[in-house]
Structure formats: C-alpha cells, structure tokens
A = this chain, B = another copy of it.
Amino acid sequence: MTEVRTLKVALLGCGNVGAQVARILIEDADALAARTGARLELSGIAVRNVNAKRDVELPQELFTTDADTLVKDADLVIELMGGIEPARSLILTAIQNGACVVTGNKALLAQDGPTLYEEADKAGVQLSYEAAVAGAIPILRPIRDSLSGDRITRVLGIVNGTTNFILDQMDSTGAQFADALAEAQRLGYAEADPTADVEGHDAAAKAAILASLAFHTRFALENVHCEGISNVSAADIAAAKDAGFVIKLLAIAEKLTDADGGEGVSVRVHPTLLPREHPLAAVRGAFNAVFIEAENAGELMFYGQGAGGTPTASAILGDLISAARRLVLGGPGRTETTTGHVPALPIDAALTSYYIGLDVADQPGVLAKIARLFADHGVSIEIMRQTIHRDAESNVETAELRIVTHRASEAALAATVEAVKGLDVINSVTSVLRVEGV
C-alpha cells in the first residue's frame, strides 16, 4: 500500500453547521480520503467555550479556545464563526501561512471580500465560500466555472429561507405578516430577532456575492439596494394572487445598458411579484433557488435547501475536498477573475415593472386621468383592471384599480407614483410592488 498524505483541518466555530462538518469529517473519514487522495485530519475545533453543549457528540480533546495556534498549524481552515472579527484576522493568518480557507461567512465576504480574495491570490491559496450563498445548492461554482464562457445577463435568487417561508405561509393561508413570522419562529425557521432576515440584510449580502461572480466585478454591500418584507400585507398577497402572481423576496443582479450604450449592474433586494408559472414561483417553504439568464445557456435554475446544519455542511465539505485535491495534485489554486469592471447602478437606474394598487373615486373619467398621468411620465401601462365593490348595507361603492406597468426606470416609476398620490380622484395608494418575470 502506498503512503497516503495527511492534511490537517482546523475548524473555527462549532454551531449548527460546524458540528455537522466535524461529524462528517470523523464519520466519513475513509470515504473522504478515497475521494481526496489524502486523509483529512480534524486537528482541532476553536470555540469560545470548550464545555458548551453541542448538537453532536464530538471528542472533547478536539476543542480549544486558542484559534490562532490551531490556524497556524493547519493545511486547510474552515471558518464558521460568523461575524467580522476575529473571523477576518484568522482567515488572513491562515492565508499568510499558505493554508486554503473555506468559509460560509457571507457578512464578512460582502463587507471585506475584495481584501480577502486579493490576499488569497497573492499567497496562491484557495478561498472558497460556496456555503455562503443558498446553503447546500451548488451555485457559485457553476457561475464561476461552468458559465465562464457565457455572459450572464440576469440573476434572480430566492436566497433567504426565512422570508420565503413567511411569504409562502401568507400566500397559502392568507395570514398577516406578523402571524406568519410567529409561526416561522415557532418552527425554528426564524430567529428571535428576525431583523437580518425579514429586512433583507442577509439576502443583500448574498446578492453582493452573486453579482460579483456573475459580472466579474467586485460589488460590496453598499452597492445593494435593500427592502425587506415587513411591509408586505395579507391584502398585497391576496391581490397578487388574484392577478396570477406570487410575492417573493428576490435578490436581483442584472446588467443594464443606458441610452449612451454605457453598461452597469443593478443589484437589489426587494419583495417582487412573479407570475405563478415562473419556475421560481414553485419554490415553497424554506427552500432556496437561483434563476440565471445567460446569453448562450438561456434560462437555468438551481434549487435546494438554503440553510440548516447538515445541508450547509455538504457545501463546506465540497469546497474542502476541492481545495484538498488541489493540494494533493500540486500547482497553484484557481484565482478569482474580476475583469468586468462594470459600475454598480443606483436603484433609480433599475429597469423594472410596477404593480400599483389604488383606491379610487368611482366616477367617470378617472381611468383616463390616471392613464394620462402615466403617459406624461413616460411609463407605459400593460394591464389596468378596475373592480367595483358595493357595500351591501350602506350601498356605498368603492373602486379598486390595479395597474401593472411595462418596464421603466425606477426613477420614472417612483415619480409617477408620487404624482398619482396628488390626483384628487385617488383615495389612497394601497400597494406598490415591483414585478419580474413578465
């Protein structure tokens, strides 16, 4: 038998995902060694409290509070601590020591990815982060490698399971946001403080990472326009349903060309109406999916579990083995290419359709007045539908008007909505939501 090399693996953090990674490294050691061509030896697990209770039973002697020493002695470092520091410093130490790094830390990557990628390039080591976006779904590698000969034009992602679960609950049961959130918390799909999920911050970090890879340009969190779902009402969902749409929180990155032929990328997160027959509309519960449009490949979709200890561990292990195989074979790791240099566009430059719900006076000439106002703002109307409700007791009639526009600039749409509010025939603007996939 030939001697098989051993690679030392340092694990930083032992939460939900980390504990599963440690379990798999120990339980599947033989199978992983066969696939890698080297034994992956878990050399230690850095935690804050070595005596804390874990989800998985693991050998006590692996635990240490001395992350720094652990990292300096490792060939491969898995960072699952989350947050900015000390994760950032430990990753830089690992890179400078020539170790390959695997991380799932989307917040750190969205904030400080460029520095980390650059340091990894300089050191000739791999920095992999498949687990940072859409958990178990292989999405970053397909974008980076499989689509490297194509031009991606648009990415639409359901990349936050908590908000997809809440919106799906609202859609299927008619629940209000607060009740659906409470149900998500009860089932463990939402945290006690759900802000990062429901306000779209988590999705925004993932949008920055997706946009960077899709358009070969580094985008940071500050380039992402972000709106959450806490203002989406049961009435919005019901009206969307009635019109053949479903509401999803989408992370969107798309290339736009302005009138002068200048190119830019609009990166944004917001609640979005999708036609019910769109492939993303069928993504239910806490599942994630990323829909990609590319010039040559056409439409692609990647679907799976976006969170959870075991599914996310699968993505971490995939990155780990790819890095380990490279160490075994020798030769430098692949580097990120950022050859695009397309500017990030402000939200006003985004091109989108609007769905607008209006409570209007039921009198002749109202529709003409509203249509003229849209035309004056250069916004073209695709669908306009009026429904009259008559209260059985009072006999009072109210009119509800639903408008879906053609694609127009966000700035023109926002100006139109402002102007609509000033019309004397408008009682109230009941909802304004963006539409994709039409």
A311/B330 in contact, CB under 8 A: no
Which residues of B are found within 8 Å of A300, using beta-carbon distances? 136-138, 302-305
Which residues of B are found within 8 Å of A311, using beta-carbon distances? 296-298
A298/B149 in contact, CB under 8 A: no
Which residues of B are found within 8 Å of A249, using beta-carbon distances? none
> A388-403 toward B: CB 8 Å interface, digit per residue (1/0)?
0000000000000000
Interface-side segment among A27-35, A57-65, A256-264, A375-383 = A27-35
A322/B279 in contact, CB under 8 A: no
B142/A321 in contact, CB under 8 A: no
- Docked pose: A280 CA to B294 CA in angstroms: 22
B315/A146 in contact, CB under 8 A: yes
Q: Which A residues between 14 and 34 are near B, CB-CB below 8 angstroms?
A: 20, 24, 28, 31-32, 34
Minimum CB–CB distance from A21 to chain B (whole Å) comes to 9
The yes or no answer to A339 lying at the interface (CB within 8 A) is yes
The yes or no answer to A89 lying at the interface (CB within 8 A) is no
Minimum CB–CB distance from A75 to chain B (whole Å) comes to 16
Which residues of B are found within 8 Å of A321, using beta-carbon distances? 145, 148-149
Counting from the closest, the 9 A-B pairs by CB-CB distance are A331-B331, A149-B317, A138-B146, A138-B142, A34-B339, A296-B314, A297-B314, A136-B297, A300-B304
Question: Residues on A close to B: CB < 8 A?
Answer: 20, 24, 28, 31-32, 34-37, 130, 136-138, 141-142, 145-151, 216, 279, 282, 294, 296-305, 308, 310-311, 313-318, 320-322, 325-326, 329-332, 334-335, 337, 339
23 A-B pairs (CB sep. < 8 Å) = A24-B296, A35-B216, A35-B339, A37-B337, A130-B146, A136-B297, A141-B142, A145-B318, A147-B314, A148-B318, A149-B317, A149-B318, A279-B282, A296-B311, A298-B305, A298-B310, A300-B303, A300-B304, A300-B305, A302-B303, A303-B303, A330-B331, A331-B331
